[in-house]
Structures are given as structure tokens and as C-alpha cells.
Amino acid sequence: MKDVAERAGVSESAVSFALNGRPGVSEATRERVRSVAEELGWRPSTAARALSGEGAATVGLVLARPARTLGVEPFFLQLVSGVQQVLAERQLGLLFQVVEDVAAECAMYEHWWAEHRVDGVLLVDPRAEDPRPDVLASLGLPGVVVGGTEARRGLSSVWVDDAGAMASVVEYLHALGHQRITHVAGLSELAHTQRRMASLRSETERLGLPHVRSLTTDYSDAEGAAVTRRLLDEPDPPTAVVYDNDVLAAAGVAAAAERRLPVPARLSLVSWEDSVLCRMVHPWLTALARDPLALGRVAAEELTRLLDGAPARTAGVPVPRLVVRESTAPPPGGGRDGDA
């Protein structure tokens, strides 16, 4: 900072004000200081910023999910990539941690806060009964809830319309003639799982579908295949299955192939997430196309707003669009599946 001050012809305190975005210097001085700092290759010390109370220049992301399910699920990798695009523009770091459960996640936030490790956090997988927002509020840590329903003190939300997306899938399958539809869902405690299940029930009542249900899993390919096998062994198996992610859906395709059950002639399959995996299986999977990269960018942008002192708010992303491919068709018989 002394070198920057000497080159720019200002005091070291003016350099500090200029580089940290604080009032006290003119815009002309601020620009001159930033230009000199860029020429000299000067960057602020994260450790020094934390010790002086100026912040860690780092945000945190904790995933409380079974580690075995994360390695094969593209969604979170794309989400983190979108987050990183925004953070890189602001020269902010990302501290990432995988833990066993929500209790461990809460403990991690307390640990980070005590050591001044992060300036704010991105909270994913909101629960119906979720202790994490209260923990963050008690610590005074700004955060963004990805998939949350509403903003609250210090916490913004990025709203995802799971109910609207499920309605579009059910309406499409109903229009094809399906009445026996099963939803192979993810973790039962997640708020978005419950929203999808509730939307399925609502659409079932509205359309008068008699044989519709949801079954929960841990998102893994093993459970996706196991649940599909059980469904296909039933006396009256479903004619359409909606899977909560691409991994579950790909496992469903494999399970149907094991039973020599042709897709979509005897069974239609839909994936909630679209990815390259949906186009690597045969037949290609009909899927809900959303943009995890854009979701990550929106979440990171909302967090940087909070770090800049803006109030908490709720932001939205577009409803996922159903991309129809080879894995869906009318049920056997070409009409209502109850007539097959």
C-alpha cells in the first residue's frame, strides 16, 4: 500500500479507502489509485482483511448430502461453475465443504464465523423444518437460499417454481393418455421434493387421475434402478415414470432394459434434470431443461448484493422447459392406459 500511495501521490489511508470502496476520496483519486495498484500488481491480503474486520473475501457453500450421490450428479458441478463465474469477477473465493447432515452443516457455519473464514454463504437444499436460517441469523452471516420461497432478515432467496414444472410434466403425460404415473422423487425432507409431490397430488385431483403416487429415494443410481424394478414387477405397473434427476432416470432406462420392457412403447420415462446423460442413454430422455449454471450465477449475484449492503429479497429463475425426446409416447393401446 505504501508503494501505491507513493506512486499515486496520496496517503496510505486514501489508498485503503479507494481500494476497499469506502467514502472519503474523490472518484478521480479512486480511479488513479486503482490504476496504480493494477500497474504494480497489488492485491489485498485476505488474511489481513479478516484480522482488520474488513472481511475474508470468501463465501461458503456446504452440501449435506451423501457423498456417493454427488460424484455422478452433474447439477451441483454446473451450479458451482455458475457461482464461480460471478465470484471470479469480484475476486472472491469459494470455500466448499461436504458434510453428513444438517447438524454438521450448522456446526460448520459456526466454525467459519468464529474464525472469520467467510463473509456470507450459499444455502442449498432447503428443508421444510430447517434450522439453518436461524443459525445464520444468530451469527449475522448474510446468505442466499437457493430454492427458498421468501426472503428474511439477512437472507435472500432464489425461487425455483417446482410446482409449475411438475404441473407441466403431468399435463403432458395426461395429454398422451397416461393415467398410471409414478414419481420417483429424491430425499423426502427437502422442500423442493415436498413441493413437487404436492404439485403432483394437486394435478392428480384436478385431472382426475386415479393411479398417481410419489416414492422417495436418495437420488442414487442404485435406488433409482431398485425402485424401477419393483414398479415393473407390480401387477399393474405404471405406464409413465417421472424421475427427480437424470441419474435416477438413466438407472430407470437400464432397469427397463433388464426386463426387456421397450421404452417408450410400454413405458414412458421423464427426467426432471436435463444433461448430457439424458442424451447418452437409449432412447434419449424427455427432460425438464433448466440452466444450473444460470441458477448459480443468480445466487452468487444475490449474495454479492447482500455483501454490498443491499437488503434481502427474493429473485426468480424461469420455469424449466419440457424437452420432448424419444422416451415418451402414448401408453400401450394408443389411448388411455386404462383401456390397454
- pLDDT 10s digit of each residue in the chain, 340 long? 788 888 888 888 888 788 766 777 888 888 888 888 888 876 655 444 444 455 679 999 999 887 666 666 778 889 999 999 999 998 899 999 999 999 999 999 999 999 999 999 999 999 988 999 999 999 999 999 999 888 887 899 999 899 999 999 999 999 999 999 999 999 999 999 999 999 999 999 999 998 999 999 999 999 999 999 999 999 999 999 999 999 999 999 999 999 999 999 999 999 999 999 999 999 999 999 989 999 999 999 999 999 988 999 999 898 899 999 999 999 997 655 544 4
Q: How much is the pTM?
A: 0.79
Domain with CATH 3.40.50.2300 in the chain: 58-161+292-319, 162-289+322-339
pLDDT of amino acid 121: 97
pLDDT of amino acid 46: 44
53 with 44: CB under 8 angstroms? no
Domain with CATH 1.10.260.40 in the chain: 2-43
pLDDT of amino acid 31: 87
Residues 6+ apart with CB under 8 A from 211: 179, 180, 181, 236, 238
Q: Which CATH superfamily includes the segment(s) 58-161+292-319?
A: Response regulator (3.40.50.2300)
- Cell (9 digits) for 8: 499515486
pLDDT of amino acid 47: 42
**CATH architecture observed for domain 162-289+322-339:** 3-Layer(aba) Sandwich (3.40)
pLDDT of amino acid 42: 66
Q: Does domain 2-43 have CATH number 1.20.58.410?
A: no
pLDDT of amino acid 340: 40
